[in-house]
Structure formats: C-alpha cells, structure tokens
Structure 1
Amino acid sequence: MNFERHMDEYLLFLSVEKGLSQSSIESYSQDLKQYLSFLEDNGVSEYNDIDTELLILFLKVLKESGRSGKTLSRMQSTLRNYHQFLLNENITSKNPALRLQSVKEDKKLPVYLTVEEMETLLRTPDDSRAGSRDRAMMELLYASGLRVSEIIDISMTDLNIALGFIKVRGKGSKERIVPMTDYVGRLLQEYMETHRLELLKDDHTDALFITNRGKGFTRQGLWKTIKKYELLSGIGKNITPHTFRHSFATHLIENGADLRAVQEMLGHSDISTTQIYTQISAVKIREMYKRFHPRK
C-alpha cells in the first residue's frame, strides 16, 4: 500500500478543507513521516494490520527517545485524526487510535509579567520614530493578547479606532473581533498619522506596523524588537512576544474577567487551553497566603 500517497492526500485535505496554516501542515507532515517510518521498520504494509497495541509501541518508542508529554499528546492526536481520515475515505476499515488513552502533557505555567513589570517594559521605548512605533506595537500586544502572526498580519483596514476594535485573522484563517482601549487607539492614531507615513517607502504596503526599511514586520523582526526592550528594561525575565499574550490573559483573570470572554479574545477553540491562566492565579494566591498568613 502506498502510505506516502495517502499522507499527501491527508495533508492536502488539511490545507484545502480545514484551512490549516502552512506551519501546522508542516507539523503534521513531520509527525506522519515519523509514523510511516516506524510502520516500515516494523514490516507493516497494510493499514488494517495496525492495531492499538502497535500504536502504543510507537508512542513508547517516542517516549523512550526523550519526547515530551506535549509532543506525545500531539502525536496521539495526529494518529487519531489521520486514521479517521483513512476510515472516512474507505482506505481502511477501522481507526485503531480511538482506543488510545490520553497522554498527560507536561504542563508548564507560561511566563508572564506582573502589572508593575509590564508598566516598566512599556515605558522603555524612547520618543524617536522607531521608539514611538515600538511603544504602540507593544501596547497593542498587551491590550489585545494577539499572537505574533496576528499582529504582524494586521492591515490598516482591520482597525476601527472609533469603535475600539480590531479584526484579527487567527489560526485556520478564522476571524474574530478583539477590543482595544481608548489609550491604545490614541497611540495608534498618532503613529499612523505621523511615524508610519515617515517609515513607509512602498505605498502598496498595507501592514499596520512598518520596519525602518519600510516593510511589514516578520516574526523574527518582532522577536528581535521585544528582545531589545527586554535588555533595556532590566526586568530579568525571558520576554518574548507571547509573554504579552500570557500577561494579558493572566491580568484579566486576576481582575475577575469571565473565562469564556478571555477564551474568545484569545481565539482559543478549547476552553481548557484558556484555563491554564486560572492555574497561574491559583499559584499566586497560594504564594501570597504562605507569605503573609501568621500561622505559617
């Protein structure tokens, strides 16, 4: 049986029917190549010869090679979805991955900044053309909880400053509306009316944030910009663009925001992903309790 042809058909299905991003397609491709290589090494030539025990062996091999719980959980999801596709397409008669028990991921609490640390970071840029742009960009990251790919993808037409919202294209090209504060709206208005025009070298560039070369930001460019202010701020934490997203969600939940509303703003398809931020709040409460309760 031509396993590789079926894998290519599945990847095409994910791209065309599911609308997954190229990076997601690449992740699925890498997972499936490992899986198909394992099948070949074990002399499997038919999908119907694959049973749950063989899949468990495959996951065990990955675990013994040092793969994390998160990687194993993702691989298990890949196997389940792939075999379901094969079943739906009548390529095979069963889905042996359905009986797999969920792998527990190694849950690590995300790094976030305190309100005071965030205020320090946001005060770090100077009043130069690039500094004013960077302050507006970081303020928007913190005010909206956007992903890196989302903020560099924002165009001028996605903003509605008068109504205080941004149209965002998230994972799988799903659109959502994210609010922004009046303060961030004023910063963006000032940036667009002055510094963006000064930075712009190509009138056809519709990107909201423009680099010193007159082009839209890349992921790497945004990462380097944040790292610059990490060093200048002296905060002493590993700050990335995603740190703003973690801080945004954590501070909202700490101040009593509804979990479903935070899920909507972050663009999480599953609320269990958002619940990690409630764990951060719980950890903080326990630390404060141990520190200040008189009966330690």
Structure 2
Amino acid sequence: MDRQTAKKGVDQRTVAKIVSSLRSFFTFLTLEQEREDNPARLVEMPKMEQRIPGVLRVEEVERILSLIDTSTAYGMRDRALFELIYSCGLRISEAVELEIDKLYLEEGLIRVFGKGSRERLVPVGGEAVYRLGVYMEFGRPALVKGNKRSPKVFLNHRGMGLSRKGMWKRFRELTERAGIDAKVHTLRHSYATHLLEGGADLRAVQELLGHSDINTTQIYTHVDREDLRQYHAEFHPRGAG
C-alpha cells in the first residue's frame, strides 16, 4: 500500500487518517452487530517519515525580532513574546496560556504547562528577561482595559489574553517584511537546534522542550547532520560529487 500511494503522490499522513477512520467505522459496525469482522484491521498503517523541522539561523532570528517597533505597547509585547518563545523553546499554546504568577524573572525562570498538563520550570535568557521586564512595566499596563484583569501575560487590544491566531498573524507580518519563510513554531525548532549545535546534552534538551519521549527530541540531531552534509559538500574537495 505504501508503494502504491507513493506512486500516486498521496501523503502518508493522509493515508494514515483514512485507515484510522475506516478502522473506527468497521469497529462501530461490529458493535452494532452489522458485521462480524473488521476488514480494515488487515490494512497496515503506513510508515510515517519523520519530518525534519525548518530552522532559522541566529542572524535570521535577530533580523525578524529587530523589525519590531518597541516604542509602542504592542511592540513591547511582541518583542517580549517572541524573545521568550525563542529563549525558552515554548510551544505556541504554552506562550498564550502563560500567566503572570508563573513568571520568576528575578530567578530567570518561568513555569509552563505543556502537553498532558506536564509542568516544567524553564530557564529564561537575559535578553528575554529584559524584554519581559520592559513589557510588564510599561507595555502591559497600557493594554489593560477598564476592570478587565486577565491573568494572562500577553494581552490583545481588548485587554484579554492574546490568541494563537493573533500571534500567528503578527509573526507572519514580521517574516514577510524580513523576507524569511518561517512560522512561530520555527522559533522552538531553532531553539532546540541551536542548543544542540552549541554542545547541549540531548537529555537536557528533552527536559527543556518538555518531550516525554527522547525520540521526539532526536529529530533535531538530524537537522544538525543536514548542516554537516552541507558543510561537507561546500568545503570538501570531493564533497560536491
């Protein structure tokens, strides 16, 4: 089945969803006693290839962040938000759900709740601590509206917690201006890759990212190997063959 779908250009993830739906459908029929068997169980699930995530170079991250006008409350928010995601490798959901009482800026830490409500303490880099401090002191108070007192760190123009859609829109505007193809989640990928390139231990990166399975973290070592292949092709006398 894998070879047939590959020839037709069908994505394996799409095939997996179809097979899963068929299995559920025939399970329902057997429970309703409409059938005695589940033929979909005979169909093998396609092997899923791990997708190597896109990664930004350090200078590309800096170029994107430098485009933010930090003279406005929204600019202070955006700079603090994206600095924090890159500094801590946060998921989008972790960033938008972050609450004020989970900030420990004097200690350089934040407390986040990841997938499966798993809690972890994450170190925050100096630049992100500074940008968060500026936003909390000058930017956020300007975004609070009337009696609305949202516990969320990052607020929208109505004084409520910033949504994922709002975050995506703002980051897309920045990347388009920078001429760089990237999404918000690319900052998380870049965080992990830059740590490993700098010599960080894989287990430590797993903990920082909040991965329950180290195999999920392992994919970032593949990105590093891709860089090595590029260096080899560019600099070795037989590399371009």
TM-score by shorter chain over 0.5: yes
Q: Give distance in 2, aligned partners of 1:143 and 1:50.
A: 52
- The residue type paired with residue 183 of structure 1 is E
Say whether residues 1:234 and 2:179 are aligned partners.
Answer: yes
Say whether residues 1:222 and 2:162 are aligned partners.
Answer: no
**Counterpart contact for 1:44–1:50, Cα < 8 Å:** no
Q: Give distance in 2, aligned partners of 1:184 and 1:252.
A: 16
Instruction: Classify the secondary structure of the residue corresponding to 1:257.
Output: coil
Partner in structure 1 of residue 87 of structure 2:
143
Please give the residue correspondences for 1:80-91 in structure 2 after superposition, counting only pairs within 5 Å.
none
Partner in structure 2 of residue 292 of structure 1:
235
Deviation, structure 1 residue 204: 2.1
Partner in structure 1 of residue 26 of structure 2:
38
Say whether residues 1:172 and 2:119 are aligned partners.
Answer: no
Instruction: Classify the secondary structure of the residue corresponding to 2:199.
Output: coil
**Counterpart contact for 2:98–2:112, Cα < 8 Å:** yes
- The residue type paired with residue 41 of structure 2 is L
Partner in structure 1 of residue 41 of structure 2:
55
Instruction: Classify the secondary structure of the residue corresponding to 2:112.
Output: strand
Partner in structure 2 of residue 161 of structure 1:
105
Q: Give distance in 1, aligned partners of 2:173 and 2:166.
A: 11
Q: Give distance in 2, aligned partners of 1:185 and 1:230.
A: 23
Q: 2:58 aligns with which of 115, 128, 133?
A: 115
Instruction: Classify the secondary structure of the residue corresponding to 1:278.
Output: helix
State the TM-score, normalizing by the size of structure 1: 0.69
RMSD after superposition: 2.4
Q: Give distance in 2, aligned partners of 1:226 and 1:205.
A: 23
Instruction: Classify the secondary structure of the residue corresponding to 2:122.
Output: strand
- The residue type paired with residue 25 of structure 2 is S
Q: Deviation digits for residues 160-197 of structure 1, max 9, x if unmatched?
A: 00111100011111111111012211111111011100
**Counterpart contact for 2:193–2:220, Cα < 8 Å:** yes
Gapped regions of structure 2 (runs ≥ 5): 1-17
Partner in structure 2 of residue 207 of structure 1:
152
Residue identity over aligned pairs, in percent, reads 40
Partner in structure 2 of residue 15 of structure 1:
none
- The residue type paired with residue 42 of structure 2 is I
**Counterpart contact for 2:87–2:128, Cα < 8 Å:** yes
Cα 1:155–1:276 shift into 2, 3 Å: same
Deviation, structure 1 residue 108: 1.6
Partner in structure 1 of residue 7 of structure 2:
none
Q: How many residue pairs are counted as aligned between the two chains?
A: 220
Q: Deviation digits for residues 69-106 of structure 1, max 9, x if unmatched?
A: xxx4xxxxxxxxxxxxxxxxxxxxxxxxxxxxxx5212
Deviation, structure 1 residue 203: 4.0
Cα 1:145–1:44 shift into 2, 3 Å: same
Q: Give distance in 1, aligned partners of 2:104 and 2:27.
A: 52
**Counterpart contact for 2:19–2:40, Cα < 8 Å:** no
- The residue type paired with residue 76 of structure 2 is S
Instruction: Classify the secondary structure of the residue corresponding to 1:275.
Output: helix
**Counterpart contact for 2:23–2:40, Cα < 8 Å:** no
**Counterpart contact for 2:110–2:122, Cα < 8 Å:** yes
Q: Give distance in 2, aligned partners of 1:116 and 1:130.
A: 23
